[in-house]
Amino acid sequence: MVANKSQRRIANSVRGMTVAMTLLLTTVALPLRAQSDLSGSWLLQEDEDVMERIAGPVADDFTGIPLNDSGRALGLSYSPSSLSEPERICRQEPLFSNAIGPWNLNIWPQVNPATRQVVAWHLSGTESHSEMTIWMDGRPQPSKDALHLRGGFTTGTWKGDMLIAQSTHLEAGILRRSGAFSSDKTTMTTTFIPHGDLLAAAYIINDPIYLTEPYPYTVTYVRTDRPVGRDWDLCIVGYEGVDEGQVPFYLPGKNPLVGQMKKIYNIPEEASLGGAQTMYPAFRDKLKAQYLKLYSTFPKKCTLYCTTSFGPPPPRKGSGKGSGN
C-alpha cells in the first residue's frame, strides 16, 4: 500500500513532466505564430508623394483619386477651416492617415502569455492617431450596426511573409488633405510586405459612396534600431476658434482654391478634379496637346515646391538666387 502510494506520486510527477516537456517543445518549435517579425521601429521613406505627406497637397489636387460626382462635390465644398470645429478636429486622422501622413511607424505584437501565440499586431504612427490593431485570433466581425471608430476593426492573415489586414467599421475621414474624403462604408485592405530591412505597406481602399473603383496607395519604411518619435500634433477635441453653429464650407462653384493646380503645375481642372480615368495611362492622350503647348512657356527654373526639403532651391552657379521654395 505504501509502495503503491509512492509509485502513484512518482507516476503523477512523471506524467506532469511529460506534459510539461511536450508543451515546452511545442512552444520552442513555434515560438510565435507570426510568419515574419514585423515588430520594431520603421522610418518613413520620403521619396514619393512628399507634398501629400509633409507640406500638404495643393488645395484642388484630386489627381489619381477615383472620385465619383458625390466625392468630388464633397471635396470642392471642403474648407480647411472646418478642422477648427471640435466635431471635426480629428477628421484628418482616420486609420488611412497612417499611409498619407509624414509619420514613422511602431509595430509591436500582443502575445498571449499562456500560449505564446500572437493575438494581435499593433501599429501606430503618433500618439494622436488611432492605433491599427490587427486581430490574429480569428475573432468574429462585430455586427454591421456596431459603432464605427477611427481605428475601425481589423483582422489579419498571413500569406507567406505578407501580413494582410482587412479593416471595416471605419469612420469617415480624409483620403487626401485637399478635401477628398472616404465614407464610413469604406473597407480597407492593407498588405504589409517585408523585404529585409524594407517594409512596404500597400493600401487598397474601397468606398461605395465616394469612389468608383478601388484606390491603391503605397508607402515604404526602412527598419531602424532607434525608437521613432510619436509626439505629433495631438488631436485633442476642444475649442479652436470657430463660433458655435458655424460650419466653414464652400458652396458649389464658389471654392476660391480651385485653379491652384493649373497655376502651379499647369494641370487643367479636367485632371486636377480626379476621377478613375486620371489613374490610367490613356488619360495622358487627353492632356498631351494642351500641356505641351504651354510647356515651352514654363519658367526655366522651378520656383515653387521644387525640392525635397521645401526650402528655397539651392543657389546655382550662373542662375542667381532661387526665388521661392
Partner 1 sequence: MTRRFILSSTARIALVLFVSLAAQTAVQAQGRGRPSGPPPTARAAAPIDLTGYWVSVVTMDWNYRMVTPRPGDYEDVPLNAAGIKVMDAWDPAKDEAAGEQCKSYGAPAIMRVPEHLHITWQGDQVMKMETDAGEQTRLFHFVKSDAVQGPRTWQGYSLAEWQIQHRGIDTGGGRPARPGAPVWGNLKVTTTDFKAGYLRKNGIPYSDHAQLVEYYDLLQEGTGYQMLLVTSSVTDPVYLTKTFIVNSNFKRLSSAAGWEPSACSARW
Q: Segment 213-242, which members bind partner 1 (CB under 8 A)?
A: 214-220, 222
Residue 114 interacts with partner 1 (CB under 8 A)? no
Instruction: Give the strand pairing for 153-159 and 132-135.
Output: parallel
Instruction: Choose between 61 and 85: whose C-beta lies nearer to partner 1.
Output: 61
Residue 137 interacts with partner 1 (CB under 8 A)? yes
| Amino acid identity at 24 | L
Instruction: Choose between 41 and 278: whose C-beta lies nearer to partner 1.
Output: 278
Do residues 106 and 231 touch, judged by C-beta distance below 8 A? no
The site map against partner 1 for 153-192 (x = CB under 8 A) is: ---xxxxxxx---x--------------------x-x-x-
The residue range among 47-55, 68-76, 227-235, 247-255 that interacts with partner 1, by the rule CB under 8 A, is 47-55
Q: Minimum distance from CB of 251 to partner 1 (Å)?
A: 27
Phi, psi dihedrals of residue 245, rounded to the nearest 5°: 90, -10
DSSP state of 275: -
Report the alpha-carbon distance of residue 119 to residue 24 in Å, rounded. Answer: 19
Residue 294 interacts with partner 1 (CB under 8 A)? no
The residue range among 49-57, 71-79, 228-236, 248-256 that interacts with partner 1, by the rule CB under 8 A, is 49-57
Adjacent-strand bridge partners of 176: 180
Strands (E) in the chain, as ranges, are: 40-44, 105-111, 118-124, 132-135, 153-159, 162-168, 173-176, 180-182, 187-195, 198-206, 215-224
Q: Minimum distance from CB of 68 to partner 1 (Å)?
A: 16
The per-residue b/e assignment along 14-45, b for 16 or more CB within 10 angstroms, e otherwise, is: eeeeeeeeeeeeeeeeeeeebeeebebbbbbe
The residue range among 76-84, 87-95, 197-205, 237-245 that interacts with partner 1, by the rule CB under 8 A, is 197-205
Identify which of 181, 165, 167, 3 has the alpha carbon closest to the alpha carbon of residue 80: 181
The residue range among 67-75, 84-92, 249-257, 298-306 that interacts with partner 1, by the rule CB under 8 A, is 298-306
Residue 249 interacts with partner 1 (CB under 8 A)? no
Residue 17 interacts with partner 1 (CB under 8 A)? yes
